[in-house]
Amino acid sequence: MSIWESFKIALSSIWNHKIRSLLTMLGIIIGVAAVIIIVAIGQGAKTEMTDELFSMDKNIVELYYEEDMSEDGMAMMTGEQPELSTADIETLAEVPGVEAVLATNMASGSLLVDDEQVDLEITGVGSEFFSARDIQVVEGRPLNQLDNDGMNRVLMIDTVAKKKLFKDSDEVVGEVVDVNDNPYKIVGVYESPVPEQFRFSENGEALMPRSVVSMMFGTMEIESLAVIANNPERISEIGQEAADTLTEAKGLEEDQGRYAIFDFSEYEKEFNTVITVMTLFIGSIAAISLLVGGIGVMNIMLVSVTERTREIGLRKALGATRGKILLQFLIESITLTSLGGLLGISLAFFVSMLISIFAPINAIVSPLVVLIGVGFSAFIGVIFGILPANKASKLSPIDALRYE
């Protein structure tokens, strides 16, 4: 008997006992579906959270001043942070691999529109900020170099602040507002690049020329510097070279502190590891149902061997070898579990689609996990089909034919 004929007999046996076969496959279906769905949710959550936490401005490397460390690991107070200037921006721009340099300062102000007053976080920026950060201007124009050089009292607000302050106005460009009792003209509205859950204020944010922020709020014109690497694969390397260049440009000695970089690559690795471990742990629990399903398959196959004892005896009497009988029942077991695996995959795709539509997460079904699901379900068919198949192959033809 060929493998194809054995496969047809297996399908015929499954079809003739539809309810029993479906109940037997149920454990496999649920197990495979549960594993794929859990891994899909884990992959979706991992991708979404990685994008939100690490992918925003992924090529930007923040530079910061680090105090010199004493032998006991405590920072030595060596004085104030060196004052940054436009010359430092030009120096960093010449570092190989640096595509752009971002210089910013920060302030908080009370913005008054008609009778409504809100507190806003204000970032002082230069003209390079908009192209480097890919800021989407939805109304008006971005701030430019003339605004910085001329210390023009202009500002941009994000869409959150516009919605908060100008509920009844579609056009706000050209409006004059008070910030800390000083008039400023709104020249543009931009889409906030910061995800809602990471915003400091529910009132939104504003951008001003950094020279104006320095003059009106008494801050340094450049409080922080960041560089944008032109190669995502060399972010840390380029950032460290920029930090070393700035340290040298400021003439800092070993005991005077240095400039360093915020490197999120290690945090990203740790985050991905945590998500992976959680997914594997929960997926392992779901995989227990596969084990239960495999036991159910073995139980039904043992029942099938008992029911078909006379058939086995007849086939042996007609010349079927022990190997062919063994192969026949193994094929039936593998067919049963493989069908359950395929149905489980179909269920997993359907549930993942519903999750992506109705839940705030995009469940990502991995092709590798699907292949593993099919392969593992077939593997279960082999493992849990060996005992019933071996029992069937060992039956004596005479005893089998005499079985009632």
pLDDT at 335 exceeding the cut of 70: yes
Cα distances (angstroms) measured from residue 42 to each of 38, 95, 282, 354 = 6, 40, 10, 15
| Cβ contact 170:108 at 8 Å | no
Q: What is the pLDDT of residues 7-39, one digit of tens each?
A: 777 677 777 777 877 887 887 888 888 888 888
pLDDT at 211 exceeding the cut of 90: yes
> Could you give the residue ranges of the DSSP H alpha helices within 226-319?
235-249, 265-307, 309-317
| Cβ contact 176:185 at 8 Å | yes
pLDDT at 241 exceeding the cut of 70: yes
CA 392, 31, 284 angle in degrees (round to 5)? 110
pLDDT at 208 (0 to 100): 95
pLDDT at 52 (0 to 100): 58
Of the pLDDT bands very low, low, confident and very high (cuts 50, 70, 90), residue 192 is confident
**What burial letters (b/e) apply to 19-39, b meaning 16+ CB within 10 Å?**
eebeebbbbbbbbbbbbbbbb
| Cβ contact 299:23 at 8 Å | no
DSSP 9-43: HHHHHHHHTHHHHHHHHHHHHHHHHHHHHHHHHHH
pLDDT at 209 (0 to 100): 94
Whole-angstrom distance, CA of residue 317 vs CA of residue 319: 5
The mean pLDDT of the chain is 79
pLDDT at 110 exceeding the cut of 50: yes
Of the pLDDT bands very low, low, confident and very high (cuts 50, 70, 90), residue 105 is very high
Whole-angstrom distance, CA of residue 201 vs CA of residue 188: 20
Whole-angstrom distance, CA of residue 144 vs CA of residue 132: 13
pLDDT at 73 (0 to 100): 45
Q: What is the pLDDT of residues 268-279, one digit of tens each?
A: 677 677 777 877
Of the pLDDT bands very low, low, confident and very high (cuts 50, 70, 90), residue 238 is confident
State the pTM of this model.
0.56
* 212, HSE (Cβ side, Cα atoms, 13 Å): 29
N-to-C CA span, the chain? 26
Q: Is 111 exposed, middle or buried (0-12, 13-18, 19+ CB in 10 A)?
A: buried
What tokens does 343 get?
Answer: 């149905």
